């Protein structure tokens, strides 16, 4: 059993089922955690997605702080990674050549420059995004194929590749958490459950239903989706189930694994 704290100022775990909007999960999905721990131990995406046994580990997560999100619209420049420096200079040059009154209008209307006319074809595409604010999680892993190596790297706060909170623009940090665990019967869980029909919904809890993949292969082909309910407070069940009781220096948690 491995536990580590994982946090950042911002984060985003895009729901792959969303199309026109970048909606983020409240918790990092198992597939994202697989990529994160792969980066810590030095596994490339090709090595991860072409290993049929890689995602055969148990995963659970606990919210260490309430989920806070920020929604906004963001403009993306088409093919912004292609010749970005030259395109930005072209935009500035063309805007400066416009009369002062038309510059503002060009910016507001996402002014287009056509390559056929000797300029650069650049436009902006507005996209609605959700971000996590100050995400902070306790991640628990069991029966991982590379558990010894992961434990060593976590204890030494060493990562082969940079660690991100979902997107490469959101650098993240992690720290090893000492823990002991044992199997118990419980009617309380932190912070999610698959026992959707077994939840005793309580006033004051904020519940969110999510459908997330638990495995990914080949060219990021997501599989084995699980329906879970996430809560910002402890989840109470109508009937007790088998779960793992995790003891850490900061408290105890009852966890279900997927």
Q: What is the pLDDT of residues 174-217, one digit of tens each?
A: 999 999 999 999 999 999 999 999 999 999 999 999 999 999 88
Residue 26: predicted pLDDT:
93
pLDDT at residue 78, rounded to an integer: 55
Same domain, 111 and 164: no
CA atoms within 13 A on the CB side of 108: 5
* Pair (184, 96) in one structural domain: no
Residue with tokens 């069991």: 142
Asked whether 160 and 55 are in contact (CB, 8 A), the reply is no
As given in the structure block, the two tokens for residue 105 are: 């209008």
13: left (phi over 0), alpha (psi -120 to 50) or beta: beta
CA dihedral 204, 234, 151, 51 (to 10 degrees): -80
Distance separating alpha carbons of residues 18 and 245, to the nearest angstrom: 34
Instruction: Tell me, yes or no, whether 141 and 35 share the same domain.
Output: yes
pLDDT, position 120: 45
Report the distance separating Cα 220 and Cα 240, nearest Å: 36
Rounding to the nearest 10 degrees, give the CA dihedral for residues 139, 143, 149, 152.
50
What is the predicted pLDDT for the residue at 96? Answer: 62
- Shared-domain flag, residues 218 and 157: yes
- State the residue range of the domain holding 86: 79-122
User: Are 103 and 209 within one domain?
Assistant: no
* 29 confidence band (pLDDT: 50, 70, 90): very high
Q: What is the pLDDT of residues 145-183, one digit of tens each?
A: 999 999 999 999 999 999 999 999 999 999 999 999 999
End-to-end CA, the chain: 14
Cα atoms found within 13 Å of the Cα of residue 98, Cβ hemisphere only = 16
**Looking at the 3D structure of the chain, how many domains does it have?**
2
Statement to judge: residues 48 and 141 lie in one domain? yes
Percent of the chain with pLDDT over 90: 67
- Whether the per-residue pLDDT at 256 is higher than 70: the answer is yes
- Which helix or strand (DSSP H or E) is residue 100 part of? helix 100-108
Q: What is the pLDDT of residue 113?
A: 44
Q: Report pLDDT for 116.
A: 42
Same domain, yes or no, for 51 and 161? Answer: yes
**CATH number of the domain where residue 181 is located:** 3.30.70
pLDDT number for residue 105: 54
Q: Which residue has the higher pLDDT, 185 or 23?
A: 185
Residue 234 DSSP class? P
- pLDDT score recorded for residue 241: 97
- Residue 79: its pLDDT value, please? 53
Dist. CA 69–CA 67, nearest whole Å? 7
Rounded to two decimals, the pTM is: 0.80
Q: Do residue 64 and residue 85 come from a single domain?
A: no
What single string gives the DSSP state of each residue in 75-88? EEETTTTSSHHHHH
Answer yes or no: do 92 and 193 share one domain: no
**Chain mean pLDDT for the chain:** 85
Contact 142, 57 (CB under 8 A): yes
My answer on whether 109 and 210 are in the same domain is: no
The two tokens of residue 61 are: 């997560």
Q: Are residues 223 and 187 in the same domain?
A: yes
pLDDT of 21 reads 72
> Does one domain contain both 87 and 188?
no
């Amino acid at each position: 059993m491995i536990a580590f704290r994982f946090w950042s100022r911002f984060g985003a775990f895009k729901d792959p089922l969303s199309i026109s909007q970048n909606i983020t999960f409240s918790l990092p999905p198992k597939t994202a955690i697989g990529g994160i721990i792969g980066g810590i131990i030095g596994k490339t995406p090709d090595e991860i997605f072409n290993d049929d046994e890689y995602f055969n580990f148990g995963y659970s997560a606990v919210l260490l702080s309430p989920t806070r999100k920020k929604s906004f619209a963001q403009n993306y420049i088409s093919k912004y990674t292609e010749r970005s420096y030259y395109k930005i200079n072209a935009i500035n040059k063309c805007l400066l050549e416009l009369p002062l009154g038309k510059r503002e209008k060009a910016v507001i209307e996402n002014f287009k420059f056509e390559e056929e006319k000797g300029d650069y074809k650049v436009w902006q595409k507005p996209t609605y995004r959700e971000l996590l604010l100050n995400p902070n999680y306790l991640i628990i892993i069991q029966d991982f194929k590379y558990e010894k190596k992961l434990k060593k790297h976590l204890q030494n706060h060493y990562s082969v590749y940079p660690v991100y909170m979902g997107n490469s623009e959101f650098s993240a940090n992690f720290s090893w958490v000492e823990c002991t665990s044992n199997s118990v019967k419980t009617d309380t869980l932190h912070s999610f459950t698959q026992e959707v029909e077994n939840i005793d919904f309580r006033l004051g809890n904020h519940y969110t239903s999510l459908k997330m993949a638990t495995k990914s292969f080949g060219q990021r082909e997501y599989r084995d989706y699980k329906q879970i309910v996430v809560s910002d407070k402890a989840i109470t069940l109508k009937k007790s189930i088998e779960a793992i009781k995790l003891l850490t220096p900061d408290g105890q948690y009852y966890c279900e694994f997927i």
